[in-house]
């Protein structure tokens, strides 16, 4: 064990007056699979009773003597026999009373045992090596950590893209990647618009159509190790690969209408969210593709008889971590399930209720309010899950006005001089997956759409004339 994992559990350090006894707790960063961890002491991993005369001279880790505790010992707790005193036995010497001393130590241990749980982890903590679980139906309820930090996520604006008019005008963009030289590719339905690292428009790639390098719903997905950009076109059910010279490198047909997709580490496997009604994959929202051929389908079965409603409720947002674990969530519920690359469920995490009322057809009304929704997931290199949701502002009704629809129904719509950011905010949760606790939280008015990496994400906002803009933000977590 190194000195970083051996720390004094100061809340559990009790100097005992007039008795040559000290209770030492070795506190909690010991690995989950360590033999020192016990069911009774998940954080304070073991207890050692040592005579004070010995404990006073025993370091806890390198250069960490016990007497350096923030809780100094009282003078009355000093030993009755000093190290320099004679070692000969006396009527008051501890050496003459081994049985009484042992009984006393056992009595104190039993008395202090109930208090030791002050060092335990959160009572709702998962405390399991969750990635090792397979075919699990378990669902862990997320809770706020005891030290939940509301100001630990530092946000720094990097660049904003989008012009009021001209070729740099952006429609509302929900698919963007950054290429190997730092340029940003925005999917704009029939074409892709590229901006440089400073936010200046560079060029348009592709055109409307169904042929090579033609698009109907272009969604740039990711940049591979060779610097090629992979683009999904769900309307044309095709994957297009564009090289560094903006020429067609490869293309292949997809087996269905793909909404979300992420590559696995091998580069040949993909996980996609796709509505697919073949007998082998009927209604299942997640699928593994190999070279664009369907090899596995999973994540439950939707009600195909419900038609469009089932297709709508099958939507998922997803991400893949460095170990090819797949994290997926329905858009309408704060529920994240974890799967391996073969489609076996590992575990699940459930957050607070996202929408109190079930989804209803028709327009937005006071009794059928604007839906809160899950928008982005990301697992960082520290194995923390970042969850982004869009949620109604407390004053969202002030941004709405009544309008009569074509069928005569009255519904609410955003006032002409306002935009979606007057209705919704972005909520960011950072989750410790090991303990199923939220360790940090932030809220921002810009609408976060996706992550570029551990340090950057991108968001949608609106200019002074209501024109859509895309901004890139740098983030840092200081826990």
* pLDDT value of position 181: 95
Percent of the chain with pLDDT over 90: 54
Among 257, 262, 355, 352, residue whose Cα is nearest residue 314: 257
* pLDDT value of position 210: 94
* pLDDT value of position 78: 37
**Distance of alpha carbon 48 from alpha carbon 51, whole angstroms:** 10
Handedness of CA 45, 51, 56, 61 (dihedral sign): negative
* pLDDT value of position 104: 64
**Distance of alpha carbon 479 from alpha carbon 298, whole angstroms:** 36
Distances (CA, A) of 324 to 230, 319, 389: 19, 9, 23
Distance of CA 15 to the CA centre of its chain: 42
pTM of the complete model = 0.73
* pLDDT value of position 211: 94
* pLDDT value of position 299: 85
* pLDDT value of position 479: 85
With tokens 């010995």, the residue in question is: 54
Q: What is the pLDDT of residues 418-434, one digit of tens each?
A: 999 999 999 999 999 99
Residues of the chain with pLDDT under 70: 1-135, 266, 279-282, 301-309
Helix (H) or strand (E) holding 14: strand 14-15
* pLDDT value of position 262: 92
Q: Which two three-digit tokens encode residue 435?
A: 């303990």
End-to-end CA distance of the chain: 24
């Amino acid at each position: 064990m190194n000195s970083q994992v051996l720390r004094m559990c100061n809340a559990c350090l009790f100097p005992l007056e007039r008795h040559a006894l000290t209770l030492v707790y070795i506190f909690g960063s010991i690995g989950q699979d360590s033999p020192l961890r016990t069911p009774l002491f998940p954080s304070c991993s073991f207890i050692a009773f040592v005579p004070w005369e010995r404990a006073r001279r025993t370091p806890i880790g390198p250069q960490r003597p016990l007497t350096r505790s923030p809780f100094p010992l009282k003078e009355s707790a000093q030993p009755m026999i000093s190290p320099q005193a004679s070692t000969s036995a006396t009527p008051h010497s501890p050496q003459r009373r081994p049985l009484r001393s042992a009984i006393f130590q056992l009595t104190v241990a039993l008395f202090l045992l109930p208090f030791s749980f002050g060092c335990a982890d959160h009572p709702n903590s998962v405390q399991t090596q969750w990635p090792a679980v397979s075919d699990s139906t378990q669902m862990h309820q997320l809770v706020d950590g005891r030290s939940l930090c509301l100001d630990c996520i530092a946000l720094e604006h990097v660049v904003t893209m989008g012009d009021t008019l001209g070729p740099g005008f952006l429609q509302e963009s929900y698919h963007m990647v950054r290429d190997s030289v730092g340029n940003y590719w925005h999917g704009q339905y029939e074409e892709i618009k590229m901006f440089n690292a400073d936010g200046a428009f560079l060029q348009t790639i592709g055109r409307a159509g169904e042929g090579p390098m033609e698009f109907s719903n272009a969604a740039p997905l990711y940049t591979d190790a060779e610097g090629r950009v992979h683009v999904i076109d769900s309307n044309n059910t095709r994957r297009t690969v564009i090289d560094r010279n903006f020429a067609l490198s490869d293309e292949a047909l997809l087996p269905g209408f793909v909404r979300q997709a992420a590559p696995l580490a091998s580069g040949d496997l993909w996980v996609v969210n796709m509505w697919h009604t073949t007998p082998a994959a009927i209604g299942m929202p997640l699928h593994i593709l190999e070279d664009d051929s369907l090899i596995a389908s999973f994540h439950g079965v939707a009600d195909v008889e419900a038609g469009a409603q089932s297709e709508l409720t099958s939507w998922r947002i997803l991400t893949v971590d460095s170990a090819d674990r797949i994290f997926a969530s329905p858009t309408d519920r704060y529920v994240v399930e974890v799967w391996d690359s073969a489609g076996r469920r590992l575990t699940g995490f459930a957050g607070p209720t996202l929408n109190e009322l079930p989804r209803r057809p028709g327009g937005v009304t006071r009794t059928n309010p604007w839906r809160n929704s899950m928008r982005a997931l990301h697992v960082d290199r520290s194995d923390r899950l970042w969850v982004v949701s869009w949620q109604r502002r407390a004053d969202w009704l002030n941004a709405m006005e009544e309008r009569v629809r074509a069928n005569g129904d009255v519904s609410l719509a955003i006032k002409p001089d306002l935009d979606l950011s007057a209705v919704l905010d972005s909520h960011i949760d950072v989750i410790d997956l090991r303990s199923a606790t939220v360790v940090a939280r932030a809220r921002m008015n810009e609408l976060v759409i996706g992550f570029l990496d551990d340090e950057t994400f991108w968001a949608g906002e609106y200019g002074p004339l209501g024109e859509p803009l895309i901004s890139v933000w740098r983030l840092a977590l200081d826990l």
